[in-house]
Structure 1
């Protein structure tokens, strides 16, 4: 009897914690797979400290075979900053959702970015507060229906959604790396995460990657509608691509010099 081979897990994943605890269809597992493969390819597992926030992202606390810490809500970036300053040889990764990064944690991210802290922040954007029931978050899109906006988000009443990478790109220095990827294009997302880690390895500056992520549980979507939203609707407002790339800037400077 033939046995179907199982897809290979990243080597730095902790096998004992799999299958993971995220809901079926959740994007966190795919974002974390990209992170795991990037860590493997860079050969930095023994140097990584992984910090996760409260919310759905807390379910990643035992994802990797590396040092990890679960922080208070919204405090992941400052904790990783402190660890990095105490031991600059470590590769410090802060992992969070849009609530932990753009709501309660926005002060930590903004100030770390402004100071050009040598850490890497990865933020999964699924447009709502997922673990607490699907309420409106800073990234809920205009007109999107959620628990606390059953008729759709009204920008006149609640403001426009947070454009995180655009904000970070505007306040960081030349050494920062800033990008927005999507779980709909894992090869591209992994390349962005890998560059963000390489940027920290080289000591250039703050590194930030937002990943567009799915939450079919709270979106109340089937597989077809989930992919339609993640592939077609979200990119209309959240443009995918690199906003700041010091590697390209350095290459252009060398060519023009």
Structure 2
């Protein structure tokens, strides 16, 4: 019996590649749907370039009806920055996991933020390296068990989890947009991504959005445990919300391209 109502998918999605290749319960599909809906809302499909990293994020290589490039691990952002500089009329999206962004790709992230590059970067934070078996990542929580921390992450030995948006917000010039969303609040996440795309389109500066995500396969959690971990444990350490907006006053300066900046 056919369903009376068919699910609404983004127009920019490539239908023949669905169902997608991600594991059951993975948050990537939710985040990519939010990105697709944001692209649809802004009607920028014809000029958007999507770049994905090595790792679980590479499974998005055929997700969209967009010109797409898959890069070496951690190098997605500089590749997209190069495209933007050669073709400034394009809208470029750099999509990667927390390992690609905060480990091997950390130097590119910091440099891009300092330069205030006109790119939109989306980082999926699931607290571990998903594709290679669930090892400790820069975002693994204190005490969290992984394949390489079977007794829990010891912050005295490995340091504390990386706070990516907080780092970008601290070093980026005025005009940057920085936010952290979660698959637990898809409407808010889509809003953050859409604002990030607009920040690039309007020439204000870099846009950086981290998305709290799920990996029940490597977490070895059921549905209830998965959502508790995202909504309680992850959100307690990685608070969601906007960290920087273009109208924010920083060091006595107002973000460029924002005519009605709020007073502080």
Which TM-score band (shorter chain)? over 0.9
**2:13 counterpart SS class:** coil
Aligned to 1:222: 222
CA shift, 1:5, in A, is 2.1
Identify unmatched segments of 5+ residues in structure 1.
none
For 1:2 and 1:182, locate their aligned partners in 2 and report how far apart those are by CA, in whole Å: 32
SS in 2 for 1:58: helix
Which protein is richer in helix relative to its size? 1
Deviations along 1:182-212, one digit per CA (max 9) or x if unpaired, are 0000000000000000000001001000000
Q: Cα offset for 1:252?
A: 5.2
Alignment of 1:241 with 2:248, yes or no, is no
Residue 2 and residue 29 in structure 1: after superposition, are their counterparts in 2 closer, same or farther (change >3 A)?
A: closer
- Correspondence for 1:108: 108
For normalisation by structure 1, the TM-score amounts to 0.97
2:119/2:205 contact within 8 Å kept: yes
Distance in 2 (CA, whole Å) between partners of 1:2 and 1:125 is 36
* Contact preservation (8 Å) 2:48, 2:90: yes
Gaps spanning 5+ residues in structure 2: where? Answer: 250-257
Do the aligned residues in 1 keep the contact of 2:26 with 2:214 (CA within 8 Å)? yes
TM-score normalised by structure 2 residue count: 0.94
What is the rounded CA distance, in whole Å, between the counterparts of 1:29 and 1:125 in structure 2? 13
Mark the CA change 1:2 to 1:98 in structure 2 (over 3 Å): closer, same or farther.
closer
Matches within 5 A, 1:18-57: 18-57=18-57
1:12-91 aligned at under 5 Å gives the runs 12-91=12-91
Distance in 1 (CA, whole Å) between partners of 2:243 and 2:2 is 47
Shift of 1:246: 1.1
Could you tell me how far apart the structure 1 residues matched to 2:107 and 2:190 are? 27
Question: Are 2:201 and 1:201 aligned?
Answer: yes
Return closer, same or farther for 1:20/1:247 CA change in 2, 3 Å cut-off.
farther
SS of match in other structure, 2:141: coil
The residue aligned with 2:143 is: 143
**For residues 154 and 204 of structure 1, do their structure 2 counterparts lie closer, same or farther at Cα, with a shift above 3 Å needed?**
same
Equivalent-residue separation in structure 2 for 1:3 and 1:246 (angstroms): 44
Paired residue for 2:180?
A: 180
**What do the CA deviations read for 1:192-235 (whole angstroms, capped 9, x no partner)?**
00000000000100100000000000000000000000111101
The list of structure 1 runs, each at least 4 consecutive aligned residues, that deviate by more than 6 angstroms after superposition, is: none
Deviation at 1:3? 2.7
- The CA distance in 1 between the partners of 2:101 and 2:52, in whole Å, is 11
Residue of structure 2 equivalent to 1:118: 118
Aligned-pair CA distance for 1:88:
0.3
Q: Is the 8 A contact 2:174 2:248 kept in 1?
A: no
Alignment length, in residue pairs?
255
Cα separation, 1, equivalents of 2:105 and 2:63: 22
State the distance in 1 between where 2:232 and 2:18 align: 31
